[in-house]
């Protein structure tokens, strides 16, 4: 129970728990109050009737010729018998001497005043006794007349039992109503937090506007702190994007200049060992340039994936533009980059990311396809509302037993020795397809070579 109240995971649960415990305590208190008041009222009612009966007997007593005459009226006992099936007892004493009734009926020794009450056991039953006293003058002198009227308490106990049952039912109804009200109060109290949560959850990952949802005074410091955090996060993301753009410019431009100077220098060298050393340096420059470029591409994918700028993209147009841009590079490597069958398929997505994914897959194919090889890029319908962009080559294919690990970051196949690469091309393509709800399939063709399929939902 204590852990339930102290659970930090749910304010609603804690608030509802405290309200329900309070309601239960109030219901129990209500039960005892009703039962106590009902018992007192019932006891007062019985005492009043016993008093009236005792005084009626006292009032009917007369002194004639110096002698005491007691004429017990009928209604003195009939008023008790008519109310319930209780048994009634009485005793009449004069100056402590028993005159009539039940001699064993208990009598009070000390009575402060003319009337007194007591509860006792008589003849094996609980009884309530009212005793009235009055001074009286006789021929022998003054004395005290004492009249005691007793009534059993079984009816009173039965009445209290019924009242207790009603009080318990009333307490249960009170608790149920209080539980409903407590639930409404808890939900109403938590509603501003729910509104704040809904307001934030509806935002896109790149929506970093300050929170303006109205909240209670107690939540204003939280919203102020949240807005401060959002402001710092927005500044941090902006700096990250600026850094990536600046790094792309500052890394690629110097490396390109160094690569150009190395090409010029190698042509002027006559000694074979110098030319070999320069070729090794050019290879290292190419690998560094490619790795830096793909790292920046991967960072760009991570940033844009949270806020895709989607539009309708015709896949044949995407393939033609990509092949056209990469054809000069393929010709330098003496590769035949061709366009295959282009089905009229369209998708919704981020054009920049999809271009990056396709370019990385084609670039990967050009790295592993031998001189004079062929690379074919085509579009086809994959069924079930899917579109396929297939990039096939006649290179060595993917190493067995499987190609799945090749999509891991920096993973390269066993046939990658001597080939410049960073192990990020397929990783970038797979990340792009995942954020578009697609997948990347890697297979080997029957005639030799590899086939990479970019699978996307079509529109």
Give me the domain span that covers residue 104: 11-160
In a domain, 67, yes or no: yes
In a domain, 356, yes or no: yes
Helix (H), strand (E), coil (C) string for 64-126: ECCEEEECCCCHHHHHHHCCCCCCEEEEEEECCEEEEECCCCCCCCCCCCCEEEEEEEECCEE
In a domain, 88, yes or no: yes
The CATH code of the domain that includes 122 is 3.30.450
In a domain, 254, yes or no: no
Interatomic CA distance for residues 42 and 49, integer angstroms: 11
Q: What pLDDT was estimated at residue 110?
A: 63
Q: What pLDDT was estimated at residue 202?
A: 78
Block means of pLDDT (10 residues each) for the chain, 459 residues, are 54 83 88 86 85 84 72 68 70 84 80 80 88 80 84 81 86 89 86 83 74 83 87 79 66 71 78 79 72 66 68 93 90 89 92 89 87 92 90 84 56 51 74 89 83 92
The CATH code of the domain that includes 420 is 3.30.565.10
Interatomic CA distance for residues 228 and 211, integer angstroms: 10
Last-in-domain residue among 128, 160, 192: 160
Residue 381 parent element (H or E): strand 374-383
Q: What pLDDT was estimated at residue 337?
A: 92
Asked if 19 and 177 touch (Cβ cutoff 8 Å), the reply is no
Q: What pLDDT was estimated at residue 402?
A: 53
CA angle 52, 56, 59 (to 5 degrees): 135
Last-in-domain residue among 160, 192, 226: 160
In a domain, 83, yes or no: yes
Interatomic CA distance for residues 109 and 225, integer angstroms: 79
Last-in-domain residue among 136, 160, 184: 160
Non-local CB neighbours of 230 within 8 Å, separated by 6+ positions: 208, 209, 210, 211
In a domain, 30, yes or no: yes
Residue 393 parent element (H or E): strand 386-393
- At 320 the three-state DSSP class reads helix
In a domain, 235, yes or no: no
In a domain, 454, yes or no: yes
Give the count of domains, the chain: 2
């Amino acid at each position: 129970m204590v852990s339930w109240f102290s659970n930090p995971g749910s304010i609603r649960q804690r608030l509802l728990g405290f309200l329900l415990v309070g309601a239960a305590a109030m219901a129990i208190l209500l039960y005892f109050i009703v039962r106590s008041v009902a018992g007192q009222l019932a006891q007062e009612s019985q005492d009043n009737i016993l008093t009236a009966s005792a005084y009626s007997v006292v009032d009917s007593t007369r002194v004639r010729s110096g002698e005491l005459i007691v004429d017990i009226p009928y209604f003195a006992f009939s008023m008790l018998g008519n109310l319930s099936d209780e048994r009634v007892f009485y005793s009449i004493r004069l100056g402590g001497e028993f005159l009539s009734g039940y001699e064993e009926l208990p009598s009070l020794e000390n009575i402060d005043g003319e009337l007194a009450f007591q509860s006792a056991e008589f003849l094996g039953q609980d009884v309530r006794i009212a005793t009235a006293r009055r001074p009286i003058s006789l021929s022998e002198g003054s004395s005290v007349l004492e009249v005691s009227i007793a009534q059993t308490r079984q009816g009173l106990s039965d009445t209290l039992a019924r009242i207790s049952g009603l009080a318990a039912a009333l307490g249960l109804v009170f608790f149920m109503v209080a539980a409903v009200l407590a639930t409404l109060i808890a939900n109403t109290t938590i509603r501003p937090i729910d509104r704040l949560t809904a307001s934030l959850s509806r935002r896109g990952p790149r929506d970093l506007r300050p929170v303006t949802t109205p909240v209670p005074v107690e939540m204003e410091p939280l919203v102020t702190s949240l807005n401060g955090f959002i402001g710092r996060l927005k500044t941090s993301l902006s700096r990250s994007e600026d850094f990536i753009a600046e790094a792309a410019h500052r890394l690629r431009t110097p490396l390109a200049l160094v690569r150009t100077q190395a090409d010029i220098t190698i042509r002027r060298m006559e000694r074979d060992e110098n030319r070999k050393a320069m070729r090794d340096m050019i290879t290292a420059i190419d690998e560094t340039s490619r790795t830096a470029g793909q790292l920046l591409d991967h960072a760009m994918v991570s940033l844009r994936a949270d806020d895709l700028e989607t539009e309708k993209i015709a896949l044949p147009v995407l393939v033609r533009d990509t092949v056209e841009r990469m054809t000069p590079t393929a010709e330098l490597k003496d590769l035949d980059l061709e366009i295959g069958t282009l089905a009229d398929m369209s998708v919704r997505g981020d054009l920049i990311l999809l271009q990056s994914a396709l370019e990385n897959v084609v670039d990967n194919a050009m790295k592993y396809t031998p001189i004079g090889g062929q690379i074919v890029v085509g579009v086809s319908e994959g069924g079930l509302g899917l579109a396929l962009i297939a990039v096939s080559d006649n290179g060595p294919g993917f190493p067995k037993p499987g190609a799945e690990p090749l999509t891991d970051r920096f993973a390269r196949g066993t046939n990658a020795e001597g080939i410049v690469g960073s192990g990020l091309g397929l990783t970038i393509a797979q990340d792009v397809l995942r954020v578009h709800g697609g997948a990347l399939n890697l297979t080997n063709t029957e005639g030799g070579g590899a086939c990479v399929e970019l699978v996307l939902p079509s529109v």
